[in-house]
């Protein structure tokens, strides 16, 4: 789960990080009032969406040049810019072409920027540890730095038990070129970031940019955070920050039924049981020249109703041109799946070819149910045959 910039900044500020003053608003009038409340000094209007790259984004159809981060000095400019931001979807590198609707703006005191630094913490799967990363060349082009000069990004592994140690923060602060009082200021922000990451079971916390002003103040101008969904049950305060308007409706619907749905870009829908089987199903589809549109994991012991709901979600995805059901019956019985397929067929109707590979508990009973139904279902034995058949089925729909 992600949180908005203003929420991430509050969480950082609670732990001692310096952030600029800001007010969250949802209308142009409130934005003007916020400008006044901040003292009528220059502000930055910032579209609150979960995607990054807002600064370099744009509002197609608005006829305006600016993106989701706009520096403004004049009171009369606040309302028109806020109105545009709240009226048109914001498109960035991370949103896809349709963009994301902006419901809230952060009116933030503008900072004079002398230098922009990148500071982040991720879970490094290679070492199995959280790692703090810092780069003296922060700002909107950090992806370029990571791609072309990765040696400029310094990394410091952080013990999950002890947190970031003072010597580590000092080392990074010196390496980032901080001097005098700035060293302690930067360290404070690094400790806040590490605390937030560890306390709230985050996967990623990023401050980009961390800035130094000409008068030597060090503060976090942007903040992004991704929480570990599997740990959210321990953090009701974080769960309360969820913004459903930012999430994929199909994924939300699936989560409500206890199913796990992941949307992708291809045209083959996959219904599987178990994350491992989902991964190998996607691999084998790709190996046979196809592209998965999504995968829906019904888990180890899904009920008939859950499986019917799963089909409803899969078939509602307009990208899907063929469906592969790949079930290994362990706890899940193959005849349960077969019954659910037949029920779903009656309820939702299949408008695309369906290939079914069943193996395991009650497989013969499951296969018989499907064969006896007289429905247009393509049976497959083994993963290879299943992948072959579903890729061919999706291709033939492309041609027709």
- Residues designated as active site: 118, 206
Tell whether the torsion through CA atoms of 233, 236, 238 and 241 is positive or negative. Answer: positive
Among 108, 194, 208, 362, binds Mg ion (CB under 5 A): 208
Helix (H, G, I), strand (E, B) or coil at 158: coil
Instruction: Compute the least distance from the CB of residue 248 to ligand ADP, in Å.
Output: 20
Interface residues for ligand ADP in 106-145 (CB under 6 A)? 108, 110-111, 113, 116, 139-140
Name the binder of 130 from Mg ion, ligand ADP, none, CB < 5-8 A by kind. none
Q: Does 222 bind Mg ion (CB under 5 A)?
A: yes
Of 63-71, 192-200, 217-225, 355-363, the window that binds Mg ion (rule: CB under 5 A) is 217-225
Residue 72 phi/psi, 5-degree rounding, is -135, 140
Instruction: Compute the least distance from the CB of residue 74 to ligand ADP, in Å.
Output: 16
Instruction: Compute the least distance from the CB of residue 92 to ligand ADP, in Å.
Output: 7
Contacts 24+ apart (CB under 8 A), 145-150: 145/118
Q: Does 20 bind ligand ADP (CB under 6 A)?
A: yes
Residues 6 or more apart whose Cβ sits within 8 Å of residue 203: 122, 123, 226, 227, 228
Q: Does 92 bind Mg ion (CB under 5 A)?
A: no
Residues near ligand ADP (CB under 6 A), total? 19
Strands 322-329 and 224-227: unpaired
3-state class percentages of the chain: helix first, strand second, coil last, to nearest 5:
40, 25, 35
Peptide linkage before 335 cis (omega within 30 of 0): no
Among 2, 9, 54, 104, binds ligand ADP (CB under 6 A): 54
Strands 105-109 and 129-135: unpaired
Of 28-36, 44-52, 161-169, 242-250, the window that binds ligand ADP (rule: CB under 6 A) is 44-52
The site for ligand ADP (CB under 6 A) is made up of: 20, 44, 46, 52-55, 69, 108, 110-111, 113, 116, 139-140, 208-209, 221-222
């Amino acid at each position: 789960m992600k949180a908005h910039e203003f929420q991430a900044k509050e969480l950082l500020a609670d732990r001692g990080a310096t952030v600029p003053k800001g007010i969250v608003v949802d209308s142009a009038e409130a934005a003007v009032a916020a400008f006044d409340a901040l003292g009528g000094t220059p502000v930055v209007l910032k579209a609150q969406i979960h995607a990054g790259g807002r600064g370099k984004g744009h509002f197609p159809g608005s006829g305006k040049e600016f993106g989701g981060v706009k520096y403004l000095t004049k009171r009369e400019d606040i309302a028109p810019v806020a109105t545009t931001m709240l009226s048109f979807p914001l498109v960035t590198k991370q949103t896809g072409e349709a963009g994301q609707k902006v419901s809230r703006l952060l009116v933030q005191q503008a900072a004079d920027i002398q230098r922009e630094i990148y500071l982040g913490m991720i879970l490094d799967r290679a070492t199995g540890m959280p790692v703090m990363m810092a780069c003296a060349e922060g700002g909107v082009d950090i992806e370029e730095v990571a791609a072309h000069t990765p040696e400029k990004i310094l990394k410091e592994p952080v013990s999950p038990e002890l947190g970031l140690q003072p010597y580590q923060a000092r080392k990074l602060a010196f390496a980032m070129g901080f001097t005098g009082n700035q060293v302690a200021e930067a360290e404070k922000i690094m400790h806040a970031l590490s605390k937030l990451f560890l306390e709230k079971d985050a996967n990623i916390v990023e401050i980009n940019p961390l800035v130094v002003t000409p008068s030597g103040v060090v503060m976090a101008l942007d903040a992004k955070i991704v929480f570990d969904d599997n740990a959210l049950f321990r953090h009701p305060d974080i769960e309360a920050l969820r913004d459903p308007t930012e999430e994929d409706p199909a994924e939300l619907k699936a989560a409500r039924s206890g199913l796990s749905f992941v949307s992708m870009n291809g045209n083959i829908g996959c219904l599987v049981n178990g994350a491992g089987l989902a991964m190998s199903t996607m691999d084998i589809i790709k190996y046979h020249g196809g592209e998965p549109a999504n995968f829906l994991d019904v888990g180890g012991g899904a009920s008939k109703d859950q499986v019917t709901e799963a089909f409803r979600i899969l078939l509602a995805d307009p990208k899907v041109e063929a469906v592969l059901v790949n079930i290994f019956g362990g706890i899940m019985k193959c005849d349960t799946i077969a019954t659910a397929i037949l029920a779903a067929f009656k309820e939702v109707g299949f408008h695309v070819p369906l290939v079914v590979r069943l193996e395991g508990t009650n497989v013969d009973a499951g296969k018989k149910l499907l064969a006896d139904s007289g429905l247009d279902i393509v049976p497959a034995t083994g993963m290879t045959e299943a992948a072959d058949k579903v890729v061919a089925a999706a291709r033939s729909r492309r041609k027709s």
